[in-house]
Amino acid sequence: MPLLGFIFRRVLQTIPTIAFILVVTFILVRLLPGDPASAMLGDRAIDADVQRINAKLGLDQPIPVQFLYFTKAVFTGDLGNSIGLKLPVIELIERRLPVTLMLTGMAALIALLVAVPLSFVAALNRGGAPDAIIRGTFQIGLSMPVFYVGLVLLTVFAAKLRWFPVGGYGQNFLDDLYHLFLPATTLALSLSAVLMRNLRAAIIGVVGADYVDFARAKGLRARVIMTRHVLRNALISTVTLFGLSIGTLLGGAVITETVFAIPGAGRLMIEAIYGRDYPVIQGLTIALALLVSFTFLLTDIVQAWLDPRVVR
Amino acid sequence: MTAPSPDRNTAGGGLKVRGLTTTFATPRGLATVVDGINLDVAPGEIVGLVGESGSGKSMTLRSIVRLVREPGKVSGQVEWQGRDLMAMREADLRKVRGAEIAMIFQEPMTALNPVLPVRLQIEENLSAHTTLDRRARRQRALELMNIVGIPAAERRLDEYPHQFSGGMRQRVMIAIALANSPKLLLADEPTTALDVTIQDQILKLILDLRDRFGMSVVFVTHDLGVVAATCDRMAVMYAGRIVETGTVAQVFAEPHHPYTRGLLGSVPRIGAERSMLLSIEGMPPGLIDLPDGCAFHPRCSFATDRCRAERPPLESFAAGREVACFHHQTVAAMAEAA
């Protein structure tokens, strides 16, 4: 099975990526102004205390040694303790990240559910009224900033119509879905516009292909032609775009979580930055970076599965 | 080989095309790509459709099974085994396509779906028209790969088009077309994209299949050598119309249309005295503003005022022979003299 070989090689390729992520986060945190000890102790720190804390955190060691300690700690799941919240960082991430994952996952799903059928309608009515309406609407959606769309949805559907909660997070899975619907829709809007544009163009390209005519000459049903021959080929480029957009979606989650008061990783990140909570910033950066590189891995695998020409 | 007449009764058997016309509305005006084509194909017969690029050969083929894209409009009558394909509902036509009438395309590179294994592309044709189960379909796919002469068929079934050579891809396409043992094969330049040795193998394969399964073939090509090697009868197309028909032997020996004469003159012959190859002066006309009268007149050395004013109809002048030219006797006489 050539696909398995491809997956194996692709997984090996993530090793240098992860190493790079670790080096960059390590350096970034050390480049930030101010040092952790002063942040913990406040204005009235005396040198002796600073030195004591630096020794405790291993910050008096040479940089390469610090990096080894850092790497070892990351791999054992020890990301240090939050300065502000006095809790292990890994615990905070375990609590907050799933919320963000659910929000972005839901947004991605909504974007797909909206973009795929609409790009079909637009592509097959190319130049007609449905095409113009769909594209026009999404053009507007694409040009509005996420926080603004969020506020509009909040005002209309939560504050005025009271169909959805104004913010916060649910008590169980279904309640979570209910709470996350508006924020996820907010996030999904620009992504679905991007996907729509791409998929519409891809479908138009594929529909004119010889193999689609050949499929018609075989006497296949229209549904089979559309899914097996058109959609599958059109999705190849869109899948890549979709995977790459997940990173942007996580960035958008930071804003959306703030607007909708959702206790997710995005808001944790903002709080940590305001509080100069270095261990949290560092831990979250690593977690999000790993998440994004994992999404890219998954994207490449899906793409290889869709397009056998990639595997060779 | 019997000399078939164009008026031969093909009811219950072959294909009978009457007044087939395909037009495209373009921003610059209406383009008539196929203009009132009449064509008969008897069971087991191979008819060659010959002409320059853009003469409407491929479009004629696609129009027969209504495989013309928007904004193309097809009209006329296509009688297939007593039924009119033009009047048929899309759902009924779907059952004819790929089952009774199969098609092969010119470009084996682009006509196969690049992301699906060959097995699926053969089997989906069986799923669409038969009740065969998974195992039977696989069995049949394997059988087809063997019929068209693909070595190591068992292993190659699960491979993708990009893993096949050009000639092998064309064989795969033929295997797909043959899946449901069609009665008529519409072959659109099936050998043009291949090199000569492979071309020869594919032609032999098609002839062999005709003999084994009694299949009729409409063979579109611009290659007169291919016509001579494979076809029983031929129809020459120019600017969307048929200008001459007859058996291959008749047309090659005694062309009656100046255009046919020009086409034949541009092919070198082995054994004949070496002389300059003739070429037809000028370019084929644009299909939107065809010249008045005979569409060929601007390029024709026989043209008179009548040709410029009046369009010559396609008329029978001998058994099984038709030509659309006012001066065909002169043309034929000159060919004999030469």
Nearest CA in chain A to B160: A308
Cβ <8 Å between A216 and B97: yes
Q: Across the interface, do A219 and B128 touch by the CB < 8 Å criterion?
A: yes
What CATH number corresponds to the domain at position A179? Answer: 1.10.3720.10
pLDDT tens-digit readout, A138-148: 888 778 887 78
B72-80 and B15-26 beta bridge pairing:
antiparallel
Query: How many domains does chain A fold into?
Result: 2
A62 and A131 share one domain? no
Q: DSSP assignment of chain A, as one string? A: -HHHHHHHHHHHHHHHHHHHHHHHHHHHHHHSSS-HHHHHH-TT--HHHHHHHHHHHTTTS-HHHHHHHHHHHHHTT---B-TTT-SBHHHHHHHHHHHHHHHHHHHHHHHHHHHHHHHHHHHHTTTSHHHHHHHHHHHHHHHS-HHHHHHHHIIIIIIIS-SS-SS---SSHHHHHHHHHHHHHHHHHHHHHHHHHHHHHHHHHHHTSHHHHHHHHTT--HHHIIIIIIIHHHHHHHHHHHHHHHHHHHHHHHHHHHHTT--SHHHHHHHHHHTT-HHHHHHHHHHHHHHHHHHHHHHHHHHHHH-TTT--
pLDDT for residue B3: 42
Give pLDDT, residue A147: 77
Over range A42-70, report the average pLDDT.
78
Asked if A53 and A115 sit in the same domain, the reply is no
- Measure CB to CB from residue A214 to each of B99, B105, B117 and give the nearest one: B105
Task: Work out the number of other CB atoms within 10 angstroms of the CB of residue B181.
Answer: 14
Residue entry with tokens 């054992």: A76
How far apart are the C-alpha atoms of B45 and B54, rounded to whole Å? 25
B116 interaction partners in chain A (CB closer than 8 Å): 228-229, 232
Q: Give B101→chain A minimum CA distance, Å.
A: 9
Range of the domain at B305: 255-338
Q: Is A85 among the domain residues?
A: no
Residue A264 maps to a domain: yes
Q: Please tell me the pTM assigned to this model.
A: 0.79
Under an 8 Å CB criterion, which residues of A touch B?
A: 208-211, 213-221, 224, 228-229, 232-233, 236, 306-309
Over chain B (338 residues), the average pLDDT of each successive run of 10 is: 42 82 89 92 94 88 92 92 91 93 89 93 93 93 90 92 90 91 91 80 86 91 90 94 94 92 75 66 77 88 90 92 92 71
Between A80 and A224, residue with greater pLDDT: A224
**Residue A185 CB-density burial (10 A; 0-12 exposed, 13-18 middle, 19+ buried):** buried
Q: Do A211 and B114 touch (CB under 8 A)?
A: yes
Whether A63 is in a domain gets the answer yes
Owner of token pair 């910033």:
A281
Q: What is the CA radius of gyration of chain A?
A: 24
Q: Which of A247-251, A254-258, B137-141, B166-170 has the highest mean pLDDT?
A: B137-141
Mean confidence (pLDDT) of chain A: 85
Look up the domain containing A69 and give its range. Answer: 2-75
Q: Please tell me whether the interface predicted TM-score (ipTM) of this complex is above 0.95.
A: no
**Over 80: is that where the pLDDT of A223 sits?**
yes
Name the helix (H) or strand (E) containing B39. Answer: strand B29-41
B316 within some domain: yes
Total domain count, chain B: 1
Confidence of residue A259 (pLDDT cuts 50, 70, 90): confident
* pLDDT mean over A1-30: 86
pLDDT of residue A34: 65
**Residue A150 covered by a domain:** yes
Predicted pLDDT of residue B2: 42
Does the distance separating the beta carbons of A213 and B115 come in below 8 Å? no
